Structure formats: C-alpha cells, structure tokens
Amino acid sequence: MAHGGLRAKHKKQRTEQVLSAAQSLFVEWGYEGTHIEAIAERASVSPATIYNYFATKPNLLMELALRHVHAALPERRQFIRDLPEDPVQAILEFEKLLADQNLRHLSRECWRVIMSAQYIEPDGPASRTGARLNTLIRRQYVRLLKTYQQRGKLAADVDPFQLADVIVDVTTAHFGNFVAKEDATIAELLARGERQIRLIIERMLVKDAA
C-alpha cells in the first residue's frame, strides 16, 4: 500500500512536470511547433513516459485545459457569489471572465485544437474532455440563473438547465469565432454576443425587477 501510494505520488509529480513543460513550450513555439520529444526534454522525462500517460499530444492539451479550469474555479465561484443586479450584465461579465481566463494560460491556437476535437475525433478521449469542459460551464450558468430566479429577476417558470444549454451553445460559437482570428479582441467578442444574449433572456426577465 505504501509503495502504491509512493508510485502514485511520483506519477502525479511527473504529470505536473510534463503539463508545465508543455504549457511553456506551447507559448514559446506554438502548439503545432512543439513536439513530444521537446516536452519530454523540458520535463526531464522520457518520451515514452509522456505517451504512457497521455497517448497523444491532443490528450495532453486537454489535460492542460482541465488543469486550467480547475485553477479558474475559485474566481468563477466568487463571481457567482457576488453577481451584479442585471442578469444580462452578469452573463456578459461572466463571458469576459471566461475569455480572460481561457487566454491566461492557453493560446488561441490551443483553443482551436480543443474546440475542433469533437469534429476530428467525435468519440475520442480529447472530445470527451472537451465535453467535460462545456459541462462545467453549463453547471456554473445553472447556478447563476437560479440565483436570479431566487432574487425574483428571472421568471419562475424558466427552466435554468435548458436556458443554460442555449446560452452556452451561443457563447461557445462566438468564442470559436473569436479564437479563429488572431486579431479579434474580447470587446468584439462581447459586442457580437450581447445582441443574442439580450434576445434570448430579456423576455424571461421579471419586468418590474429588471
């Protein structure tokens, strides 16, 4: 048992070394320009170790994305605990927070790879990880929407789960367009999404509370 725990600890340490090395190299050389051998050298492990842990470079990238999301959760939870009065403003500010966080550690090129995984290999592990990322955001939106229902600002007959699905589908499409262009700004991303968000949600607001 003790030996198993030690092996697990060493594996976790090596995994973190590999992920940190990959993140720094993706920044320096780009995702496509970074090879597994370079990641292994930077992490002081063998290429075989990386293939054993992740199997493919896209899988490694997805693990990086998951690490990013887990690190980002406290900031997101704090935002949801201290929401602004206006639900539409809250959604736009939350989308800005998501975009800021996404680009804090991973490049647009990396996000293009992440978002394309579901089309390239629909049933693969990278695609499943991408689905997990979206599921986390949906859950956060459900909490956000339920808060506004409790405040009496969102109609009581609105299904927060279905509304969260619609919002995430729309905002994910906009984020995909955003990362496809290297010169697009977050302000432009939010401006494109605001009209659709208002169209979706404003009819569901309690008018005398809006």
- The letter for the amino acid at 92 is L
Domain 1-54 is of which CATH architecture?
Answer: Orthogonal Bundle (1.10)
Residue 88 pLDDT greater than 50, yes or no: yes
In order of 38, 121, 123, 155, the CA distances from 57 in angstroms are 12, 14, 16, 45
Q: Which CATH class is domain 57-209?
A: mainly alpha
Mean pLDDT of the chain: 90
Residue 4 pLDDT greater than 70, yes or no: no
The DSSP code for 154 is B
pLDDT category at 2 given cuts 50, 70, 90 is: low
Task: Tell me whether the CATH fold assigned to 1-54 matches the one assigned to 57-209.
Answer: no
Phi, psi at residue 153, to the nearest 5°?
-100, -20
Query: Mean pLDDT lowest for which of 131-135, 150-154, 179-183, 196-200?
Result: 131-135
Per-domain boundaries in the chain:
1-54, 57-209
For residue 23, give the nearest of 90, 68, 81 by alpha carbon. Answer: 68
* Mean pLDDT, range 145-158, rounded to an integer: 96
* Mean pLDDT, range 2-25, rounded to an integer: 83
Please give the model's pTM, rounded to 2 decimal places. 0.87
Long-range contacts of 200-204 (CB under 8 A, 24+ apart): 200/163, 200/166, 200/167, 200/170, 201/87, 201/88, 201/91, 201/154, 201/163, 201/167, 202/88, 204/154, 204/155, 204/158, 204/163
In order of 61, 90, 122, the CA distances from 117 in angstroms are 11, 29, 7
CB-count burial class (<10 Å; 0-12, 13-18, 19+) for 48: exposed
